A and B are shown apart, each in its own frame.
Chain A
Amino acid sequence: MKILVIAEHDNKKIKPSTLSTISAGLKIDDNIEMLIFSTGSQEIVSDSEKISGLKKVTLIKHEIFESQIAEDITKALTGFLESGEYTHILAPSTTFGKNLLPRIAAHLDVQQISDIMTVLDHETFERPIYAGNAVCKLKSKDKIKVITVRGTCFEPCKKESKNTVEVIDSSLTFDGKVNFVKHELSESDRPELTAAKIVISGGRGMQNGDNFKLLEGIADKLGAAIGASRAAVDAGFVPNDWQVGQTGKIVAPDLYIAVGISGAIQHIAGIKDSKFIVAINKDEEAPIFKFSDYGLVGDLFEVLPALEQKL
């Protein structure tokens, strides 16, 4: 067996979701390599050198990989695969991996396995369906397995290695039918939602964006990331990339605190692997209490200041 992990990065650092993907790969086999499509900065090379568990690291270097357009990466990757004899191709099930990997699967004429939670053996996996309300155990009959990995289900691998990174200058030309225009990325000093040990989220009950300040004080004290329900995002209280749930981010922190969130199944889908869930809601009938380890019935405008003060 030979496994290839496609790295997600920001041209500076390899993302934590990639480290979890490597751990998932190691459960299949330890003959595992990582491939990076990048402009090839010194930073990304040194970061990749440290990643444990890898037999080989290859970086395909081209200016075009400043923006990670699916068409461009697909072109370079399908070329790379020709010599590879890989049995498994893995990527994190983030917007990066979801955007890219089905193209590779279609190119290879195989049925991708999305968002695996468990590796049972080299061809048998578990993945959530119906927003995680059921878990499907399946076996792939394809000769190459193309897989995206749910990061929160696998511990990130360590960064204690000293790999050599083979840099290949790409001379490909790209057809330019799809071009990058701009990014509007959220800047934050807080930990990434999907990697944070503690997450505190607000829902429609927060009433407006300003009131999210009530969560910030608590997040500061706990070193927590801040998330939100879809209702809070749709109402424009907070940016879209804060959304937690079936169609937002999947989180699995040690502690998840849901404030003014009713607990719709689509929200629960994104939080139910958290170790402990705390719900704060003024409605004692709110469904969220059925999923929480500790429930507190109360008005968030009284509870939150008290919580911040007593922490």
Chain B
Amino acid sequence: MKALVCVKRVIDYNVKIRVKADKTGVETENVKMSMNPFDEIAVEEAVKMKEKGILNEIVVLSIGSESSQETIRSGLAMGGDRGILVKTTSDLEPLNVAKVISKIVEKEKPEIIIMGKQAIDDDSNQTGQMLAQICNLSQATFASKVEKNGEKFDVTREIDGGLETISVELPCIITTDLRLNEPRYASLPNIMKAKQKKIEQIDVGSFGLNLESRLEIIEVNDPPERKPGIMVQDVEELIGKLKSEAKVLS
């Protein structure tokens, strides 16, 4: 069985974001970039499945600039078998990303597609669901547990009220939540080995898709700042302030 894992290159989650002075976006020059944390979880899950014998091939896909090769390499170092880079110079919106992935799905025909539930730059949380609709594949989002059950998968999903388990037929799309697993660190030998693995490059133009943006970004701003607070000495003072100043306790 083959898995396609989608990985996005994003600003590292530890970096403090700075909005550009001209309000067109956030600073990305000289900023540490990494694989989207949810996508690391996706790669890890695929590698675990391969170790259990459920999968025999893991294809790591990224859509982005030349630099996204690094992100694919990290996925290969974790245990992916080969990579595909769809090259584009523009930032694609989730609908367009889903359309591009659908072309790769047509070509590769994976039984399982694993991707993050959300990219931590745009925080859209859309691509997997859109892809499921476009390709008519079963959808299991926000997965915190995935178990093979005969010809199907039982997926436990993190929902607002607790957990939900659904059973999905293949082919399916699984989007990962944080508690699905803990991604491994790639070992040095595996990082070296990954350098030999193949990354196919495809130009996004070759699909003949209309990938025009639908959303016009007017401006990007800093969030409203909170007023600086004060320190209180003890519980009495705290309760006093909450009653008399904040008036949130009666």
Contact = CB atoms under 8 A, between A and B. Distances in A.
B163 A310 contact: no
A265 B133 contact: no
A105 B238 contact: no
Given A102-B126, A128-B123, A141-B216, A272 B169 contact: no
Interface stretch (B64-72, B80-88, B136-144, B185-193): B136-144
Residue from A181, A194, A222, A298 with most neighbouring chain B CB atoms (10 Å): A181
A306 B232 CA distance: 15
B215 A140 contact: yes
Interface in A66-84: 67, 69-71, 74
B249 A222 contact: yes
B221 A137 contact: yes
A281 to B, nearest CB: 11
A165 interface: no
Interface stretch (A19-27, A37-45, A53-61, A287-295): A287-295
Given A234-B179, A296-B234, A296-B235, A139 B167 contact: no
A173 interface: no
Contact of B123 (A103, A129, A240, A296): A129
Interface residues of B, number: 79
Contact of B220 (A129, A272, A276, A289): A129
Nearest to A125: B215
A177 B167 CA distance: 8
A289 B232 CA distance: 11
A74 B133 contact: yes
B158 interface: yes
Given A94-B160, A110-B214, A241-B161, A136 B95 contact: no
Contact of B95 (A10, A101, A112, A183): A112
Contact of A130 (B26, B216, B233): B26
Interface of B: 11, 13, 16-17, 19, 26, 93-96, 98, 117-118, 120-134, 138-142, 144, 154, 157-169, 177-179, 213-223, 226-227, 229-236, 238-239, 241-242, 246, 248-249
23 contacts: A103-B133, A105-B95, A111-B215, A112-B94, A112-B124, A112-B126, A133-B16, A138-B215, A141-B214, A183-B161, A183-B162, A185-B161, A186-B161, A222-B249, A266-B13, A293-B226, A294-B231, A294-B246, A295-B232, A296-B231, A296-B235, A310-B239, A311-B239
